[in-house]
Amino acid sequence: ITSRIKKNYDFVAVGSSIGMLYLYCRRLSHMNKYSLEGKCDAITAVKLLSCFDDLVAVGTASGRVAVFQLVSPLPGRNKQLRRFDVVGLHKGSVTSLAFSTNGMKLFSGDDKGRVVFSALDLDQGVCKPELLLEEPSGVVQMEYSHQVLLVSTQQRSLLYSTQTQELQQLGTKPRKSSGRFGACFLPALCKQSDLQVFAARPGLRLWRSDIRGHVEDTRLLKPLFSTQIPQFDLFPRPVPVGAYRPADRQLGLLSCFLRDSWILSWNEYNIYVLDYLNEVIIGALESSGDIVSVSSCDNEIFVLKGDRDIIRLSSSPEGLASNCEYYCCSYYYQYQYQKYYCCPNIDLPANTLPLVSQKNLALIYRWVSRYVWCLDFKGGLFCSTLPETGLNWQRFEDNVHQVAVSPSGNLLWKVEQKTMTAFACAKVSVKGKRHWYKAVDQTAFVALSDDSAWIIRTNGDLFLQTGLSVDRPCARSVKVESPCVFSQVCVRGGVVWALSEHKALFYREGLNSYCSEGEGWKYDTVSEAQGLELMCVALGDGGTAWALDASGSLWFRTGVCSSRPQGDDDHWWQVSISDYVVFDQGSLFQTLLQATQSVATVTRAPVERVVAFLSQYSQCQPSLVSANASGVWVASGRNQLHLARGSLVGTFWQNVVPRGTVSSTRWTFITSSSVTHREGTFLWLAQSRKDLFCVWDQDGELRPSSVLLPPEFYWSLLALMVFLCVLCLPVGIVRLVSVSCGSQNVWAVDHRGVVYFRVGTQPLNPSMMLPAWIHIEPPVQPIGVQLVSIQTSPNDRLLWALDNRGTVFVRTGLSDEMPVGTDWEQVPGTLFCQLVLSCRTVWVRCVTGDLARRYGISDKNPAGDYWKKIPGNANWFTVTPEDKLWAVTLIGGLSRRLTKLLPHTPIRPPPSGPTLSGDDEDEWELI
């Protein structure tokens, strides 16, 4: 990740593991994608430069370097995208890139110690690379200033003069211990002789040297770390599960940040901001784990995590400095009157970062089969027809606070921003003149059926207008008693639901064709029983009700009709919205805050004023979800619309208590038998190392069979396992850390990450030849990284493995003729801590406890196509051969996943995409 801010522009560049470069213009809220032609090569280094033209340099894992010259808006400058390639000179993965100020020089370093200099002639379109240096250890960091190249390697730091070709080492000796210790320049305004160098040293030491490499000062920073270190709290980002913290703190890569005496240092685990002169730690982000890259610009720090999250740390909230759609919360850490605002996760999808333009900030909308209506926070009402592909937005009205449309599309109401007066319109057309009739004063919210309007006034009173039609779009209002103040009402098909300002859900009983008002309100106990904090609700076609909760999860219930307005289900079913999270973190208020900051940037109004305006009408909750014959639509707080046109799968995690146990029982482990039994599967559960239970998943009462192991039997079993290892493993006594059994074969991983394959699963028989263990080479990985888990499918068709960094690998070439396979292939995605296999696919648990599934797996494509999160969170889980999930919850309870298919016939066929099978019919489009 790299960032650069200049006048009128604000860029963030991110390189991906599939060879794609994403360049996001924060001012325009626009994302560009650039690819390297040929082999999909992981991008390992990115560098941005804004000079006469905007340049982006990337380096890859195979040693390829490319420079993109972007289109310039300046007259006489570059008007088409150009690319320069540097190939053949690097022999390893590119680790660092450095530009000269004018962009005519590019330096690239790799993990083999090579430094390549490329002379760029942008006017002539020529790039001339040459090998500049070759060190015995890998390049860690580089900077270039005043004709001097600063190179920090795993063993030492160097100064190379491009004018005299002189090479000078910092200090008199290389470091005693190698590592990723960086170095940076303290910028000088005019002369080369004014340059100073900061270099990180082992043991929390910091060198300051002159441009000749003479060390002028050594600062021992260890005492600063012996006291409590102020942390940059990421609120409300959850704490990573099992975050690793090294035994010894160390400095890492260095860069100057914000002030002359402030230094930013980071490594894989920690980030520190230090005041060099005053010898204080300004702030830190420790034990974060899996930090891939850090970039700073002006008063901002961007952190790229291995799970594709981006964290922003800054002295001001996002939105005041730019119009970026990044998510900024109001929580801050204060140190010496300096506020650090922390941005929670920004999820980077596996293949793209879809962002849409500002006018599509759809936080309040309604639609019918022919139109979709969209309202932004500036009061602009937009409308688009539903074409075969894409949406074409047209501005419909201004100064709109809320909009409501009847299911047939014959009635349209709006509430004005300034007066909060509701107006009604009939015979709606996108183009042409329209007449608005004044309907109600002081209106906070409106919901329309085809012949009625339910109105919430600004004082909390509820009113109803009936007998509405195309020729009579509004009528006299009649007050309806309500048990509390409502924030939202929805109506469809003779059913009325209402959400209170305290997030309690009510439904209206007794509605029919003779009584539009109904008889009374009934409290919905289903939502309370599940502990859902609903933020908005909607009624769709086919008797389906939809809701979004405060965490951004989407839910539905079925069987909702006028005779049974609460529906048939005794719980909500959760739906996965592809890989996207509707709200990255926290509550709806934070989503509103993010949007208002973008508004404040455009209108040049203080953020506090915009938030205060919304607070006046906090009882009016935006409608972010709705459904009809066109599909299910969801508006996210990140300027996006999600549309599901096909069938959807709902998930409900049912808490279960095996017979003879109590609900407070805390389970630690669950696994499934790989062989089915009587149309079911045996499940093995544990509370400790010695307490083992077995249940049959088809037993309605889940009666457990206790397997109590005496100490002598337990140790005999352990001895038997050691005996098998000693006799059968070719390398002698080893300690196995993972074993997985299929129907015919056994796979194992030892404590060194070595993989073993066993032919045959029959017990030992002295009269027969012993089953054989075969040593299989593990994937090639860096030092210190090794496999820790291996899993085979019950039918021996799939084999996947997990290393100690959370990276996943798949074994390719598995067949009956070649049961050991042919090669390992790394599978891209976020970090995982557990994987389980059914007969046809792979399920994983993320470090946060979230669950996901791999789609597109086949005999010809063993790695599959993509990961997709499923609703649920667990401490441990297992899958049966038939893809039934069981889990140990975060508090140690036992639960199983139930699913419900919600059929839906779209008004047009969904776009082509990956073919899903079984209970996985749901497919979302990003609009």
- For 198-233, the DSSP string reads EEEETTTEEEEE-TTS-EEEEEE-GGGGSSPPPB--
- Tens of pLDDT, residue by residue over 100-156, are 988 899 999 999 999 999 999 887 888 999 999 999 999 999 999 999 999 999 999
Torsion angles phi and psi, residue 526, rounded to 5: -65, -45
- Rounded to an integer, the average pLDDT of 20-38 is 83
For residue 687, name the pLDDT band (cuts at 50, 70, 90).
Answer: confident
Q: How confident is the model at residue 919 (pLDDT cuts 50, 70, 90)?
A: very low
Q: How far apart are CA 735 and CA 143, in angstroms?
A: 46
Q: What is the mean pLDDT of residues 616-623?
A: 42
- φ, ψ for residue 50 (rounded to 5)? -115, 110
pLDDT band at 904 (very low <50, low <70, confident <90, very high): low
Question: How wide is the angle at C-alpha 922 spanned by C-alphas 918 and 926, nearest 5°?
Answer: 150
Domain 259-320 has CATH 2.40.10.480: yes
- What's the full length of the chain, in residues? 927
Of residues 106 and 554, which shows the higher confidence score? 106
pLDDT beyond 80 at 846 = yes
pLDDT band at 428 (very low <50, low <70, confident <90, very high): low
> Residue 464's pLDDT is what?
96
What would the two tokens of residue 186 be?
């303290």
Residue 723, SS3 per DSSP: helix
Q: In what order do the strands lie in the sheet with 462-466?
A: 443-448, 452-457, 462-466, 478-480
Nearest-10 crossing angle of helices 607-616, 588-603: 130
**Tokens 């067949």 belong to residue:** 815
Residue 171 confidence (pLDDT) above 60: yes
- Residue 417 is given by DSSP the state T
Given CA atoms 890, 892, 896, 900 in this order, what sign does their dihedral have? Answer: negative
Rounded to whole angstroms, what are the CA distances from 7 to 4, 10, 14, 27, 321? 10, 8, 21, 10, 11
pLDDT in tens, 723-776: 344 444 554 567 888 988 888 889 999 999 999 998 765 555 555 445 677 889
**Over the stretch 622-664, which tens digit does the pLDDT of each residue have?**
557 777 766 777 775 555 667 776 678 899 999 999 988 888 8
pTM given for the model = 0.56
Spell out the alpha helix ranges (H) of 388-544: 525-530
For residues 427 and 412, what is the distance between their CA atoms, to the nearest angstrom?
Answer: 9
359-427+439-449 matches 259-320 in CATH topology:
yes
For the chain, counts of helices (H) and of strands (E) = 4, 72
At residue 515, the pLDDT reads 81
Q: Name which residue leads in pLDDT, 391 or 291.
A: 291
Ordered by start, the domain boundaries in the chain are 259-320, 359-427+439-449, 481-591+621-652, 718-827
Residue ranges of the alpha helices (H) in 736-846? Answer: none
How high is the mean pLDDT of the chain?
78
Q: Quick check: 829 and 808 in contact, CB under 8 A?
A: yes
| Residue 76, Ramachandran bin (φ over 0: left; ψ between -120 and 50: alpha; else beta) | left
Whether pLDDT at 556 is above 90: yes
Residue 446's DSSP bridge partners are 455
Hey, what CATH class is 359-427+439-449 in? mainly beta
Asked if pLDDT for residue 192 goes beyond 50, the answer is: yes
